[in-house]
Structure 1
Amino acid sequence: MAANKGPAASPDELRTLKLAGMMYAKEQDEATAKALANETVPPPPADVQAKTDEAVFAMLKACRKKRRRRRRAIYLLRTAAAVALIVCVSVPLAFTVDASRAAVANFLIQNFDQFSRITYDVENNAKAPVGWTSEYYPQWLPEGYQFDRINYTGQAQEIWYINDSGSNIYFSLSTHNSPFLFDTENTSCSTEIVGNYEAALCIKHDKRSCAIAIVLPTTTLFIQGPLTKDEILKIANSTHNLF
């Protein structure tokens, strides 16, 4: 009688696990290099296998697949050992497909605290999220926010930030012909100067939300969220490589 094997993971699940391991390895390599160069830099996480197991369970929970969940978890945990091996020995991988890069980056952001937390350089400038490739990204955000997810489409590159109350800040870079997706009803709009560029700033009359759009030579930068005028202008002016 043939052995009763656990249900096979889908190709997409296995591919995400493996690519996540590779992207994780790239970040670990960079963290290790920094630690070796500077003794004040905290070492990277030690228990790779445990974190990988936690990520697998988190992925299963997110998928909300209750049927055969236990058997499926056992099967996927077997693949976690392979992922951990990839994490430990793989060389940094350059992801060339935007959709794959975003999917893998979001897997890491949603399951590993070190990727959802915003980190800062020695000059206290916020860094870009894992998987982000554009030269433009905010280097200042209000206290309490962390990365929620990133996305790539044919017309835009997007970052969502979230805080403990569930409020979101949205940052995007889009083609010049993309629509200005902000409800301008009950809104006051004005022209501001950000760097050397004119910016269209719109603030809701109830002060609960505002948005700003800046047309750059090759892209349109858009920011929206429950922000004050000073906060959204500070985010815009902090954008990396804007000046």
Structure 2
Amino acid sequence: MLQKIITRGLSVGVLTILLACSDKGGFSAQSLPGTDNNGSSSTDGGNDNTPVPNEYQKLQYKGFVSGGNNDGSLVIDIDKTANALLIILPLQMNPYIDSAEGEIPDLPGVKFMTYKDDKGASFFAVSVPLRYVLKGASFLNPARLPNGDPLPQVASGELPSLALAVPGKNNVKFHFYIGVNVVGVYVSSPYDPYLPLHFPIRRGVETIGYFHTVPAKSGFDGGFFLNTQMPDSVAAIIDDHFRF
């Protein structure tokens, strides 16, 4: 049973949505798509008392979709105010997505929300504390996609997983996958993307994940899957900073 679920109308502006959620200890303005404020400290050359940013504060981990209708969209970031990995899954013009937010009881601190932008496109955002990203969740049972297919671009084809029904009346389900330095999000609904498309997520020239559309299959709804594999160099900076 989901706890502390709030189903309510949200502003179509991403800024307004995530600012409102930050007051509840969820998402924060620092992790907004399209903003340069990522929670890092900055230095002022005229103030000798300004702290020098450490490697974590200087770390940039922004991932952008490369190709397709969502080309250039920011879908992966680190929220340094909440010390969490932020994943934003595009769901296209999906009429089945209601505005909702909640927290995963089995993974305290993992929060999710759905929202629409000013063009009516739907998104599913997840905030994952960095301790889970670095340590994984081996206590969860491994799973593939709900239709039985292996997870796209995941070496083992499966990861520790759990599934939740997103609040609403439209049979929308959220599947969360997490291994050591690997996080995946799958959202299924009656909306069928029809074609299996795959687009890399780039951090500069580096590929740090993939965005996939999954057509409906054999009685299973279609959906959208996004995963990121955090490079060892990035994980080392985070681990050195927090000592998880």
TM-score (norm 1): 0.32
Larger relative helix fraction: 1
Larger Rg: 1
Larger relative strand fraction: 2
TM-score (norm 2): 0.32
